[in-house]
Structure 1
Amino acid sequence: MDQQLKLLEDDCAAYRQLIDFLKEKHTNADIASYKQTLRNLKVEVLFNQQDVDTLQDEERALKAQYDQLCLEEARLDAELMEKKAALEERTEEEASRWRQFRDNHRRLLDLDEKTRNCDAELRYAAEQHRRLANTNALDLVFNIWVDPADGIIGEINGFRLGRLPDRLVDWPEINAAWGQLVLLLDVCEKPLVLMKRANVKTDNFKLITMCSHSCIQHKRPTGEEVRYPLFASGSWTPFGNNNMDSGIMAYLECFKLLRVAVQVGVLRAIAVLPLFSDSFALFCY
């Protein structure tokens, strides 16, 4: 307690010394000017306080505006993120559409190439069909013509059909030629069933194709079956080769039956020229 009292006394003494020092120092000072300065300072403080209040109002307004801008920024950031997500989705969708477009374009090119190939094959098939339609298969397989060198003896597939005293032909060649003729007529008369259905008389002729030893079988009204050969050996006979002559006449009868079948419309794909009996000459042996 005494110590505290001593401290207080020391403070009071120091305070009195300070007051005395100030009084001595400011004895001649202009008190009125200080008071005026004090009043000016108070007025300035008032003005400054008004400025402070104004600045505080502006600060509050700016803070409110800042808060509003922060909210707007947050909203724009959210909208931007949403737009970015939508853009990424649209970009992926666009890439998918482009892939689909490329696939469709590739398939279109493949289909176009296949279409061109099909068109080319179709044109080729149509051309082949046209050529085949205009082609006579019998003319290709059985080439019948007359040698321009003599203009008399006919040929089939290079085999001559007969001989004359001044134009001798080997009998094996003649036999082969008539074998080709029998094969030709047999090919043309395959639809004999259709001929019978059309009530075309066949006279019971039967073609027997045996290359150079072909013949024609005929069933007579008595039921007897007779074979007429269309080949000969070339040996001399006093009355000629009557068997082959009969075979040739039988062949002509079969040819007439074929012509009748064409005329009645049974065999529409074969064109047969008219046959006149006075235009056929037998062989000269």
Structure 2
Amino acid sequence: MAVGRIYSSFIGATIKPHPRTLVLRLFFANWLFYSLVITASYQAYLGSLVTVPQQDPQIDDQLDLLKSNIQIAGSTQMFYVLNASREVSQEFDELLDRPIHLLVLISVPICSSQDIDLESQANSLDHFVPAFKLVDSTNGSNGFCLLGKDESSNSKGHQMKVYANLFDFLSSNSGIDHPLCEECTDTLLDMMDKELKNTKQDFQEYSDFLKTLDSESNSEEDLEFLTKELNDLKCEEERLLGELSKLKNEEQEIEREIKTADEEKERIKQDEEKYWSEYCKYQYELAQTEEQQKSLELQLQYSLSQLNKFKSTNVFNATFHIWHSGHFGTINNFRLGTLPSAPVDWSEINAAWGQTALLLTALARKLNLTFQRYRIVPYGNHSYIEDTTEHKNLPLFASGGAKFFWDTKFDMAMVAFLDCLQQFKEELEKGDSEFHLPYNMDSKGKIEDETTGNTYSVKYQFNSQEQWTKALKFMLTNLKWGLAWVSSQFKNQFQDL
């Protein structure tokens, strides 16, 4: 009851008009009350194990219990008692130095205090901390209640049940299991004394701080003045920060300009070095150029003399030398054909076909002749003929092997070449009706020897090597005659090729 009155009077005495002071004092009151309850509970446990006489005096109310020195419960029962003070107005130190024995039960009413509804005023406070509540009681208030003798607690079973409940309650509300032995109790007492000392020190510090707050002026005018001053300082801070940011930007800009100037200086220095280096280089190149000019003048004189020589030379005869080697017709020393007794490698045959295709293409271009159905594409030893009607390429080269005997494209390419040669012959006869090639040709790939009346096919498949080689030799002979006719007609125009 004394603790409850101290708690209630402390709350009522510290309520001030200023909201900050009110909230702070409420927090101090809750903290003080909770510390008193925990400290007093453990000290009561250590010092108040007593026996009760057979005839207990009549205790009607809490005041009789305060004035008495009665021991409550049976001779072997242990209860936890609270050390309280008879004088409520004395300091907290005197409260702990004047113990009387009170039986306490946590979570039941102790006494009523002044009802102050702070929760309804929470919106007007800077910060509101609700009062600490152990367990809600049935009548709506919190605290402790003093109990008298219970006639129904004489049985041993009831006493053991009370002990068990008390021990369980203490164990559940602390980090220590109860009951404690004597050694543990001494240790716990030392800990509680130390905690009490720290609590007193904290209480004194909070009290001093509270007095400091009370002594300070809390008038609205001062608050408005301070608020205005704070706003002015914030505005000044923003202005200074803006100026600082502006100065930093200017500093960065100046640093960039300095860096740019340094880079420009370095670039100009490099350009100067490069200029002198190039100047020396150009002087050296000028001297070399003058020497080369003299050399080129001499080369030009030699070239002019060679040009005059080349003008009198037959370009086709010099470029494409068609002759024979035994049974083979040759072009630029490449044999065109093969024999069982004198086999020729296919790479040489392909090269000969490439030279033949190039010669016929050059002669046709000289006559402005465009072949019908075909277009010859000279490509070295991989030359081919493009069929413009069927849009396919016919190779003028082969590699032999088993696959070659079943591939007819090579034969089709040679037949197409002979067809182009026949068109070239017809173009020559248009310019000179008396001109005739020594061997007749047709579009089916056959060449006729008029002296013997024999015909030979340019196809490789289903043909003997002798017949095929002789047909190619006759074809080169016709091409050589056509070359001679073109050379005679355009003797003075070979330099245009």
> What's the TM-score bracket when you normalise by the shorter of the two chains?
0.3 to 0.5
TM-score, normalization: structure 2?
0.26
More helix per residue: 1 or 2? 1
Structure whose alpha-carbon radius of gyration is higher? 1
